[in-house]
Structure 1
Amino acid sequence: MKRYIPIFLIIICFLLGSGFLMSQKQQGEIIDQMPATTKKILLVPLDSRPPCGQLVADNGRTAGIEIILPPSETMDFYTLPGDTSKMRKWLYDEIKNCDEAIISIDQLLYGGLIASRNKTIKDEDITALAEYLKKLHGDNPNIKIHAFSILPRMNPPDFVEKYQDRKKLMEWSRLVHKYDDNPLSETAEKIQVLEREIPSEQIKAYIEIYNRNLRLNCLLANLVADGTLEDLSFGQDDGEVYSLPNLKLKEFMHYLHKNQIAKDKLAIVHGADEVALSILTNIISRSNSFKVYVDYSSEKAAIKVMPYMAICNQDTANERLNFHHDIIVSTPEEADYILFISATDEETMDRRRYNAEKLLDYQQRGKPVALVDLSKSFIAQEALLPILLKENFPVNSLIAYAGWNTASNSIGTAVSQAEIYLTALNQGLEQDRVVYSNLNNLNNRICEDYYYLKDVIDLVNINLKKKGYSNVYDLDLEHNYKWAVDMMEAAMNQRLVQYKTSDAFTKSFWLQNTEYAVTDMQISSYFPWPRTFEINLKTSPTLRKK
């Protein structure tokens, strides 16, 4: 009997092995390669945070574009400005090796976005930058330079330290603009009262920020007019309807009209961090004009003005789609893709199940969906994603997802991801690789925008504050930073297990007669700056082609 045991074991092993191979075959071929790069675009990011640089590089990769980023020693780090001299030298040396360039004026002039809010520059510095850009173009006449600049936000800079002074200065800013639109005596009286209460040197310095920026913008517009810059985009950060920044914007538009500077190569959009990605989208899909149907979670969602925004969601979406030269259509049947904007608060939460059914209907009809998942209170309970997971919606069939920070950030990111992805598919790049790259980007946003920014960040901040660390915007790199990272990683991994084992995550989806499914995913994350406001997150999904 013993002589039969080895034969029996061999048979068992064979059957088990055959079953494993059959299981693997049924699960399908693993796709884990990115599209081959065919073009290089240089990027001088707004700052060193992932949305400003890495997000652009990740989406560019979907379309086979390599984004060349500056070395870290030239860049800013939180409140430490970047080295503008080193940055300009790197740009001058490197641009000749690229096909086009996207450059942040704020990084070249100030050393980043935060530096632009606090660093004082002179008119000579602005002139010197203009001369540098002229030489850069003159020595590289065949390389298109796409520039962008962020208009100063309404919030006073750090030199206004007292809370009451900051509050009064912002109210003064609103009233000055309102008075310009409608010069009522009662508005003038309120302005005079505030001007007696606010230190005069603060008002003077505050006004000079916007006057200096106006001078810079006029000079940049002239560089577009003379061909130094291919085009110029302005981002409007954290705005309100009435404010001194918007008043100065009116003056800028008057300057363009007076000097007969064409506006076809100038654009102003609400947002900041995602502007470089929007410019990249136009470079990639410049020969395409997408037909987009914009749908909303409710009528209220369309006209709602979200926190830190100066315009409503509908105006924000129209503005961004116009920036990309898209055509807004009136029915889903006409559209190349659906831009679905969910903007939920306590009053409209009960519509989420209905909206989940609507998205499922779009998916079953073969209509690609880019989902913008906004929340008035920035909490997970108001988001649409948890309902999609509960209803087993195939989340990996989404062509884009975004729900971070402001409505302009999210809408701009979702539109860009969707249009870069669809353009890459239309241009005939290898489909499997394009799908794999976009799934990385999709799940990066889902894990960061939903799981971290609407959930885990509060957990981390609360625990830090319980231990006496009251300022979560200035972590100690030698002490609480590591503890905060450990807390964040543990919480994110817990949520990852729930997410990747859900039926909604593993459910297969079809693209051009090919069935795909994501069967697993890993995640890595850390804080890029010593604060909990954002994370550097990378997902690694396991994609199988059945």
Structure 2
Amino acid sequence: MRDSRTRLFGSAHPPIAAAALPGHHLAPSRKGPNPVPEKLPETAAGRPRIALLPLDDRPVNVRLPGDVAAVAGVTLDVPPTELLPSYRTAGDPEALGAWLLERAAGPSTAHVVVSTDMLLYGGLIASRTSGDSTREVLARLDVLREVRRLRPELPISVVSLVTRASNSYSAAEEPEYWAEHGKELHALGGDAHRLLGDAEVLPLDELTSVPAPVVTDYSRRRLRNHMATLSTLDFVEDGTIDFLAITADDTAPFAAGSAEQVWLRHWMRMLPRGREVLMYPGADEVGAVLVARALAAMTSVEVAFSVACADPEGMTRVPPFENMPLAASASRQIRAAGATEVTTGGDVTLVLHAPDPERHDMFRGRPERVDTAAVQGTVALISARLEGGEKVALADVRYPNGADEALVRALAEANLLGRLEAFGGWNTAGNTLGSVVALAAAGAVGRAAGTFDPAAARRALLTRLLDDFAYQSVVRVDSGPSLFPDRFPMADDERVAGAERAIHRELEAVLDSVLPGDAVRIAELTLPWRRSFEIGIALS
């Protein structure tokens, strides 16, 4: 969840309804054995629905999955606001488990998508800060067994997140001692990872200067969470879970989380069904990806993606805050969405704007030098694929925490932005890849099923352009220092309201001058966690 740059339409979370609109019945080519259905299958209670227990309450975890479902003309149900966490206040795991059981028992629910961070701890931040015992946490997993007992035929897709160790002194989303020991705890995980093959266990004071009680608190929580993730592997093996994604955010090639992935991979190799589990970098986008997977399962449509990049060398780079080359990460995101990767002739071409070799971060402001050749190469690639009749989705992973401003402006000047199937350029490469793949896959599924909603697809595209480009790369860079204090969340209601008004005005200006907005307006803009990292946008 690297700094959590997320998006949402407002702050309330009723069921996210997406009424199916007539669409062009253009079935994409099938690469799998399943026939293309004429329409979404009806349940005893009517049009099928998907139930989602999200990672937390932030926009990208609640509303982006709703956008994915809406593109395909499907209804997504999420828990009511009062059950969800609110920043550092955890949600109620027991009440959330009861909500999931209620939804699973409903005859119209055709698929459930579950974040174990929400089910077991009450949200993502709670997984890093709560004092719940291992016994309490593991007992909550039994909700999934009860769902299986109630509805043996109901598909269950689950994501379990490897706990991060942020390389910072920010305690905004971590235990309070992170403000003093955060970087040292991150380094401890990396050093311990390097020593995995050593038989000798060194004294603690030879590894770190962090006080032993702090290391104990931090390590016991990691151990608890790791045991919970191991248990989800067992649930895959006994058939309780149909699909499991194990994802990791804000990691590095050597880190505590990367070491835990070594142990998890061992059990994925040992358990026969462990080979069906996908493990890759990501976090906030996974709910949307698994909703796309549910759509594919509900319709028996297997979407085929071809991947293209103007910079082949960029496919081998490991993006910042991740531990896997870009090509491998993209492949796993496609598979997690229930789609396949092909070399040519796919339903969607996923264009990747490769990571900056200098590893610049938009959180630090605009890069000093614009790589004109990289921008021109990606623009030319997109133009050629569109002119060839391909449907193109763009994952701009050039920089973390914001889109490549030069690329988006160049695409706008060439009148290409409005022709994209999907766009993303926020936070980590995994976040961007997953959200783009999910939205593009939903469009292909909707067209095949005859339920594609072009208005929903347009809103989703503009929302991402407004958030990832107009806000993260332009407004936040230019106005952020004057709008936001060093400390957050902001306590002053009037300061929050003033920042929301200013951002609203500036985004409207970008919408009018750069983006293909037509008659679309921003109906509402919010700062859901009262800080600069994420905004919530509602489009009229």
Normalised-by-shorter TM-score class:
0.7 to 0.9
The alignment status of 1:240 with 2:252, answered yes or no, reads yes
CA distance in structure 2 between the partners assigned to 1:162 and 1:121 by the alignment: 19
Amino acid at match of 1:55: L
**Alignment-derived partner of residue 533 in structure 1:** 533
- Secondary structure at the counterpart of residue 285 of structure 1: helix
User: Which structure shows the higher helix fraction?
Assistant: 1
The alignment status of 1:212 with 2:227, answered yes or no, reads no
**Alignment-derived partner of residue 366 in structure 1:** 389
**Alignment-derived partner of residue 495 in structure 1:** 510
Q: Structure 1's 198 and 67: CA in aligned 2 closer, same or farther, altered over 3 A?
A: same
- Secondary structure at the counterpart of residue 301 of structure 1: helix
**Alignment-derived partner of residue 409 in structure 2:** 386
CA distance in structure 2 between the partners assigned to 1:292 and 1:255 by the alignment: 30
1:280 to 288, 291, 297: 291
CA deviation map 1:264-288 (0-9, x unaligned): 4422231111111111111212333
**Alignment-derived partner of residue 26 in structure 2:** none
CA distance in structure 2 between the partners assigned to 1:116 and 1:424 by the alignment: 35
1:176 CA displacement: 1.4
Q: Structure 1's 218 and 539: CA in aligned 2 closer, same or farther, altered over 3 A?
A: same
1:418 CA displacement: 0.8
CA distance in structure 2 between the partners assigned to 1:45 and 1:380 by the alignment: 25
Q: Structure 1's 136 and 290: CA in aligned 2 closer, same or farther, altered over 3 A?
A: closer
Amino acid at match of 2:304: K
The alignment status of 1:128 with 2:125, answered yes or no, reads no
1:423 to 438, 445, 448: 445
**Alignment-derived partner of residue 500 in structure 2:** 485
Q: Structure 1's 163 and 290: CA in aligned 2 closer, same or farther, altered over 3 A?
A: same
- Secondary structure at the counterpart of residue 64 of structure 1: coil
Contact kept, 8 Å, 1:35 with 1:62, in 2: the verdict is no
- Secondary structure at the counterpart of residue 52 of structure 2: strand
1:441 CA displacement: 0.8
**Alignment-derived partner of residue 36 in structure 2:** none
2:21 to 27, 35, 50: 35
CA distance in structure 2 between the partners assigned to 1:356 and 1:285 by the alignment: 30
Q: Which has the higher contact order (CA 8 A, sep 6+)?
A: 2
**Alignment-derived partner of residue 342 in structure 2:** 329
CA distance in structure 1 between the partners assigned to 2:206 and 2:83 by the alignment: 46
**Alignment-derived partner of residue 289 in structure 1:** 302
Q: Which 5+ residue runs of structure 1 have no aligned equivalent?
A: 1-31, 506-517, 541-546
1:450 to 469, 474, 479: 469
- Secondary structure at the counterpart of residue 395 of structure 2: strand
The alignment status of 1:177 with 2:171, answered yes or no, reads no
After the TM superposition, which residues 517-532 of structure 1 pair with which residues of structure 2 at under 5 Å, given as runs? 519-524=518-523, 525-532=525-532
- Secondary structure at the counterpart of residue 99 of structure 1: strand
Q: Structure 1's 282 and 398: CA in aligned 2 closer, same or farther, altered over 3 A?
A: same
Amino acid at match of 1:94: R
CA deviation map 1:390-429 (0-9, x unaligned): 2232x22111100010100101111111111011112223
Name whichever of 164-173 and 445-454 sits farther off: 164-173
Aligned residues: 478
Contact kept, 8 Å, 2:401 with 2:428, in 1: the verdict is no
2:436 to 414, 417, 420: 414
Contact kept, 8 Å, 1:485 with 1:526, in 2: the verdict is yes
Contact kept, 8 Å, 2:101 with 2:143, in 1: the verdict is no
Contact kept, 8 Å, 1:344 with 1:376, in 2: the verdict is yes
The alignment status of 1:161 with 2:177, answered yes or no, reads yes
1:304 to 317, 321, 330: 317
1:76 CA displacement: 0.6
- Identical columns (%): 23
Q: Structure 1's 403 and 378: CA in aligned 2 closer, same or farther, altered over 3 A?
A: same
1:379 CA displacement: 5.6
CA deviation map 1:364-410 (0-9, x unaligned): 111110001233364666541111112232x2211110001010010
Contact kept, 8 Å, 2:403 with 2:468, in 1: the verdict is no
Amino acid at match of 1:387: A
Name whichever of 95-104 and 155-164 sits farther off: 155-164
- Secondary structure at the counterpart of residue 242 of structure 1: coil
Q: Structure 1's 75 and 288: CA in aligned 2 closer, same or farther, altered over 3 A?
A: same
**Alignment-derived partner of residue 41 in structure 2:** none
Q: State the TM-score, normalized to the length of structure 2.
A: 0.82
Name whichever of 42-51 and 373-382 sits farther off: 373-382
Amino acid at match of 1:166: G
1:64 to 70, 73, 77: 73
Contact kept, 8 Å, 1:45 with 1:103, in 2: the verdict is yes
- Secondary structure at the counterpart of residue 180 of structure 1: coil
CA distance in structure 2 between the partners assigned to 1:163 and 1:261 by the alignment: 43
Contact kept, 8 Å, 1:160 with 1:202, in 2: the verdict is no
Name whichever of 476-485 and 110-119 sits farther off: 476-485
Contact kept, 8 Å, 1:62 with 1:438, in 2: the verdict is yes
CA deviation map 1:288-339 (0-9, x unaligned): 33332211232342223222222222221122223345443334xx232211
Amino acid at match of 2:529: W
What's the C-alpha RMSD, in Å, of the aligned pairs? 2.6
Amino acid at match of 2:429: A
- Secondary structure at the counterpart of residue 241 of structure 2: coil
Q: Which has the larger radius of gyration?
A: 1
CA distance in structure 2 between the partners assigned to 1:103 and 1:270 by the alignment: 18
- Secondary structure at the counterpart of residue 440 of structure 2: helix
Contact kept, 8 Å, 2:50 with 2:76, in 1: the verdict is yes
